[in-house]
């Protein structure tokens, strides 16, 4: 975990020092979230829908390559009372502009659990993020993200292992 944090810190410092273009913006989306259990888990596992909002900074490295970091609120988990959890997520996504306004990107994400304490969920979870974005105008775009859970969301004492899979359908506005 220390190695991942150090790598992200060095990558962001390097990005800041070599950036050609920096843009800011806001992101609004809707989530479709679910938990994937290693073993059976809960009997019914309905997906949870929610609204995501956040702010991002996009550091342009070249004409086609950029690094975007974002701070976002995201409701996740399953749609059962004790399996709902909310996160403050920090994705760091390497974007590649394929053509025109169409971009794809990948990167890591760390999520900090908020709102509940001692509920059986870990405070920090790690995910991988895949992004497809289309900028309709210079300021306004639509995107799709898939967050693939890497770490177990439950505390180790519970002996339950589950990761989260989250789809986000959203809008971006660059200031």
36-52 pLDDT tens trace: 777 665 556 678 999 99
User: Residue 19 is encoded by which pair of tokens?
Assistant: 């950036």
Return the pLDDT at 82: 79
Return the pLDDT at 18: 53
Which of these CATH numbers, 1.20.1250.20, 2.40.160.20, 2.40.50.140, 3.40.50.300, describes 19-174? 2.40.160.20
CA pair distance 107, 130, nearest whole angstrom: 7
Banded pLDDT at 15 (limits 50, 70, 90): low
Choose among 119, 135, 138: nearest CA to 171: 135
Is it the case that residue 146 has pLDDT exceeding 80? Answer: yes
Higher pLDDT, 59 or 4: 59
What percent of the chain lies above the pLDDT cut of 90? 59
Rounded mean pLDDT of 157-162? 84
Within 8 A by CB and 6+ apart from 159, the residues are none
Is it the case that residue 77 has pLDDT exceeding 80? Answer: yes
User: Residue 15 is encoded by which pair of tokens?
Assistant: 């990005």
86-123 pLDDT tens trace: 999 999 999 999 988 899 999 999 999 997 777 888 99
Q: List, in sequence order, every residue forming a beta bridge with 51; answer none if it has no partner.
A: 30
Q: pTM surpassing 0.85? A: no
What percent of the chain lies above the pLDDT cut of 70? 85
Is it the case that residue 144 has pLDDT exceeding 70? Answer: yes
| CA-CA-CA-CA dihedral for 12, 99, 139, 74, to nearest 10 | -50
Higher pLDDT, 155 or 18: 155
């Amino acid at each position: 975990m220390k190695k991942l944090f150090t790598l992200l810190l060095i990558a962001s410092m390097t990005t800041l020092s070599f950036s050609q273009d920096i843009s800011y913006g806001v992101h609004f989306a809707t989530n479709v979230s679910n938990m994937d259990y290693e073993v059976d888990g809960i009997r019914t596992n309905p997906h949870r829908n929610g609204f995501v909002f956040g702010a991002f900074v996009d550091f342009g490295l070249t004409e086609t390559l950029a690094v975007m970091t974002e701070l976002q609120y995201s409701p996740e988990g399953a749609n059962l009372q004790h399996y709902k959890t909310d996160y403050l997520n920090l994705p760091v996504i390497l974007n590649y502009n394929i053509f025109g306004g169409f971009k794809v990107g990948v990167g890591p994400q760390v999520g900090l659990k908020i709102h509940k304490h001692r509920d059986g969920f870990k405070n920090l979870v790690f995910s991988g993020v895949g992004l497809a974005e289309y900028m309709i105008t210079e300021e306004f775009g639509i995107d799709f993200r898939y967050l693939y859970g890497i770490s177990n969301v439950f505390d180790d004492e519970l002996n339950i292992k589950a990761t989260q899979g989250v789809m986000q359908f959203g809008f971006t506005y660059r200031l």
